[in-house]
Every structure is written in structure tokens, then in C-alpha cells.
Amino acid sequence: MRQPELESWLVGTLDDFKLCQSESLELRELLPKLAQDDIAFVRNKAFVLAREPARAGGDNAVASLLWLEKISKVIDNFRQTQSVTITEAHFSPGEDCRRQLLDLVVAARETLDISVFTISDDRLSDAIVAAHKRGIQVRLITDNDKAHDQGSDIFKLIDRGINVRMDNTENHMHHKFAIVDKRILVNGSFNWTRSATDYNQENILVTNEPKLVAAYLGEFDSLWDEFDR
């Protein structure tokens, strides 16, 4: 999103002199995709936009300052989470990769975007369903051929209400990554299967590096749109 679009978005949220919950969530989802200069632009432009009604006085003055306070709080919270760098490597066989994935799914607070070739590990599938039940927005992309494999949990997940889209081409959707709350990326060779935990030489990398998270989130969103056919 370019700076004129960011300004237009800010102006739209200020129309009713309050930042509603959906607008706050939209801003939190937008921030990981922005460069630091654009984040600074959002904050500075918010101050500029709030200044005029604040000077005019009246009820709108207080409301505009509360709007500005909420905008600033969302940005400050985002910067605080980004200030601690996460970079971890995990390997299998053994519980290391699966345990880390389970911990991240359980820790999700708002969104869980998963793009994985195959899922047949019930512990991971059950954790995804539990996240969905507690209100996490779950999106899952997988390969159409692997969904029909014996032991696949994909149709069980669909039956539990998980929003699933599948590769609809003759090729394979071979990714194995997930993004938690739009800010933590898990990527590697590890399929979400029992074999990957018990027998295979596999790996995952966990990071909150903003550029990498933004790149994978962009790929996920692109595939999500592509497979909606």
C-alpha cells in the first residue's frame, strides 16, 4: 500500500472519530507489510489529521485525540513485538519440530495462515481445530492430490469448519510454511505428518524478521486468491 493509500485509509477511519475494532485489526495486519518509512508516515499523518479537529474544540476534539491514541498504541505494540528478534532452527526426527509447531498454534491470538503440502498428524490437526474454536481466523492451503491420501486430515478439518483451499492444477502446491498472527513465520522441509516427526530428516526455521514475514504473507495471499476458483 502506497502512502496516498495509507493517508486515504486514515482519513476514512477518522470519519466517525473513532478507530473501531475491525479498523484496529486491519491496521495490525497491515503494519508487517510496511517499510519503516511507511510506518513513520502513518504515525505522522495521524497526528496531522487529528490536529485540526483538536484545535476546533468540542466533542470531536476529544474523539480525535482518542482516535490518535489508539492509532499510536497499535503502532507502538507492533514495534515492541518486532524489537525482540526471533530466529530459531528445529530438526527431526524427534519431537522438536512438532512441539514447536504445536506451541505456535496454541499461542496464536488472531490469525493462523498455513500452506502445507500434506497434513496427517492428528495432534497438529486437533490443535488447528482448537485454534478455530477459540476464535482464531484460520486459513489453510494444501495440495489437492495429497488431500485424498489415506490418513490425510484435510477433509476432517473442512468438516470442523476450517477454511481450506486446494491447488486446482496438475502441479503440486509443495510449500510447507505457516504465519502466526501476521508476524511469525515457520518455514522448512517439514510436512505436518507423523513420518516427518518419527522418521524423516526434516527442519523448520522460525523467525519474526518483518521482510521475510511480509514476503511469505504476500505469497500466501496470492495463492489464496488463485485457488478460489
Q: Which pLDDT belongs to residue 228?
A: 86
Pick the catalytic residue: 149, 174, 198, 211? 174
Q: Which pLDDT belongs to residue 81?
A: 67
Pick the catalytic residue: 70, 90, 146, 176? 176
Average pLDDT along the chain, 229 residues, taken 10 residues at a time:
88 87 85 84 92 84 90 84 78 94 90 96 95 95 90 94 92 96 94 94 94 93 90
**Distance of CA 144 to CAs 46, 114, 150, 152, 168, Å?**
45, 15, 13, 11, 6
Q: Which pLDDT belongs to residue 200?
A: 95
Pick the catalytic residue: 90, 143, 181, 182? 181
Cell of 62: 476529544
Q: Which pLDDT belongs to residue 117?
A: 95
Any idea of the CA torsion for 219, 207, 165, 101, to the nearest 10 degrees? 170
Q: Which pLDDT belongs to residue 2?
A: 84
**Rounded Cα–Cα distance for residues 129 and 224 (Å):** 20
**How big, in percent rounded to 5, are the helix, strand and coil portions of the chain?**
55, 15, 30
**Distance of CA 54 to CAs 10, 46, 48, 71, 130, Å?**
16, 12, 10, 15, 45
Q: Which pLDDT belongs to residue 80?
A: 72
Cell 530459531 maps to which residue? 88
15 belongs to the catalytic site: no
Distance of CA 197 to the CA centre of its chain: 25
174 belongs to the catalytic site: yes
156 belongs to the catalytic site: no
